[in-house]
Amino acid sequence: IPQPHHPTPSRWVVQWNERWNRYPLIGGHKREEESFRECMIREIIEELGLDEADFEVAPAPQAQLEFEGFSQRTQTTTSYEMEIFLVRLLRSAVARLGNPPTPPNRWLTSQEIQETREIRDDQNTVKSTISPTVGYIFEQLGLLKSEL
């Protein structure tokens, strides 16, 4: 979810995950009966506490990705299938999230995601890097340079 109406281009909302010690993107597991788009809407409401009227999800995905990666939750290599949607936050959502957003949410620049450097929270405590999946997704979308 990019940050609208901000002078710094390419800022994305992420949410600190204590179990993983990382910043993943907003999203989650798709229920069998829902589409990927419906899943995205549900996850934004659940994770950010927004109302459906606070944002717009693109009608079609920006990308469809299938890949294998290490699952922090299961501690094994897992096959992933996902659709990536561009989400536009309306001014009401930006106000509700705050600027900066309320913890555990945070806006990261593309440069911070590219560097996957240590990031500090409001108390100057080091929070680890972004999730490896975030880097992969941004790379596949052409938003980051490949490390290869």
From the list 122, 142, 3, the residue with the least C-alpha distance to 62 is 142
Quick check: 14 and 134 in contact, CB under 8 A? yes
Which residue do the tokens 């995205």 mark?
A: 40
Two structure tokens written together for 143: 């938003």
Element (H, E) at 38: helix 36-48
Which residue do the tokens 């409401």 mark?
A: 45
Quick check: 135 and 113 in contact, CB under 8 A? yes
Residues paired with residue 63 on neighbouring β-strands, in sequence order: 84
Which residues neighbour 6 within 8 Å (Cβ) at sequence distance 6 or greater? Answer: 99, 107
Q: What is the pTM of this model?
A: 0.78
Residues paired with residue 82 on neighbouring β-strands, in sequence order: 65
Alpha-carbon gap, residue 84 to 105, rounded angstroms: 19
Residuewise pLDDT in 10s, the chain (148 residues): 666 666 555 778 888 888 877 788 888 889 999 999 999 999 999 998 899 999 999 999 988 999 988 887 788 998 989 999 989 888 878 777 766 666 788 888 777 777 765 556 666 665 557 777 777 888 888 876 654 4
Quick check: 42 and 32 in contact, CB under 8 A? no
